[in-house]
Each structure stands twice: as structure tokens, then as C-alpha cells.
Amino acid sequence: MIRIAVSVSYLGDHFFGSQLQPDVRTVEGVFIDTCRQLEIFDDFRDAGFLAAGRTDRGVHARCNVFSFDTEHPERAVDVLNRKLPADTWCNGYAFVEEGFNPRYRALNRTYRYFFPDDGLDLMAMRSASGKFPGVHDFTMFSRTSKRSTIREIHDVSIFSEEDFIVFEVTGKSFLWNMVRRMAAVLYDIGRGECSAGKIDLLLSGDAVARPATAPPEGLVLWNIGYPFDFTAMDERGRSLRYRHNASRRFHVLKKVYDSV
């Protein structure tokens, strides 16, 4: 029995999120179904199937990571991309140790949020985003939860790329809706509707209300870092053809497909 980790990309538009749920289409659901059809494994529980992260309905991924045990690793590497649904594809794989958990072994996670470049003040957004790095209480940027709201942001950047302003943020872990709320505040700053001081108020807990949540369609789970590299998988076939067409259908993510 071999344990394998697979880097997976997907378009979130037609998924009810990534996490397995009964009676609705999810990323984990179609991935597990495909593995069962190919007899890569029979029962996902017995295979120890685990995901590095969860994404909400409409959110996309350039790199999420699934891990599972199989007696047929060559089948996973050689055939998965030919059989997965058209809006899901594998980028790479790595053979990992027994019991490997992609969530807890991750060194960091990077998200990107794509804003339409409709006259936003890039310099104001860039200056304001500099308030995020470091250890902060992100209570006002998340839903109410029993989890600790203390998080460390390693790095942020804001840059222009063709028709978009891109907000990139890297940290060890994030709270539910945290990145989308950060993006919403930066968008308001870019439009001149508030100043960078709003971020200070939110991080200090002195703000009256939580910020809005930016739409899911602009958010991409961009990368998850590990202390090893993934070997590239063959992307020829149905998924690659769909990706080419999807880059025209989902304009806001054109650069994602060109970069994967």
C-alpha cells in the first residue's frame, strides 16, 4: 500500500464547495467517485482520504492537495486526468509517508483575490495591505467560531496584472471567509470609500461591524507549500481542453488557467 499526495486544480462555479456532502456536487465527491471507478481505492475512509483545505461554493483552486492510500499508484498518476470531470484536473503528485495528513503538514497557504481593474487606487490598496502581516486577532474578519482567531500573516502583495488588481496573501492558516473579508476592505479602500485606518479598527476589535464578504468567484486557493516538491502529471486530454475553453468563459480567472 502506497500513500500518495495529489495537487488538484478546479473551477468552483459548478461545485457546492470542495468538502464531500450528500446529494450535491462537490470537488471531493467527484474526485472520490473517479478514484472508485478506476479502482484506485474502494472506500475513501479505508483509503484515509484527506484534503489540505476546504473551499466554499464558487471558490476556485490552482492547488489544493488530496492524500490517500492505494495499491495502484501508477493508475492514479497515469489515468486520473483522463477520467476526472472536465472542471477538475491534477497538476502533480508525491509519494508520502504512511499517515501523511496534507492539512497539518502544510507549511503555508497562499490565496489570490482577483479584482476587476476599474479605476482602483492601487497605491492606496498596497499601502493599506501592509497592515496585515504579523500576528493579529482576526475576529472581525471571520465568522463567529470556537476556534482561535489569532492568525499570522507571512506576506501580502498587491499588483496589477492585465485587466486585474490581484491581492495575494500567504499565511500558515486562515479562518472561514477571512481572505474574502480582507479583500472586501481593500476593495473599499481602492474605491476611496474608506481609509487604511479601517483595518486598524478591525484588527484592534474597535470596529462596530464586520466588513462585507467579497464574492467567491474572485478567490483562488493559489498554492499550498510543503517540504517536498510535486512531480508534474500529464495534463493531456479532456481536462486540458476544457481549461482552454474555460479561460474564455470565466474571464476573471483567465490568468489562473494560463499560469497553472
Catalytic residues: 56
Q: CB of 64 within 8 A of CB of 54?
A: no
Amino acid code (one letter) for 167? F
Q: CB of 233 within 8 A of CB of 76?
A: no
Q: CB of 91 within 8 A of CB of 142?
A: no
Task: Measure the CA–CA gap between 254 and 248, rounded to whole angstroms.
Answer: 7
219 Cβ partners below 8 Å, 6+ apart?
55, 59, 60, 111, 112, 113, 179, 180, 183
Task: Measure the CA–CA gap between 239 and 254, rounded to whole angstroms.
Answer: 16
Give me the sign of the Cα torsion angle 46, 16, 175, 9. positive
Task: Measure the CA–CA gap between 254 and 246, rounded to whole angstroms.
Answer: 8
Q: Which three cell numbers stand for residue 8?
A: 488538484
Q: Which three cell numbers stand for residue 68?
A: 490517500
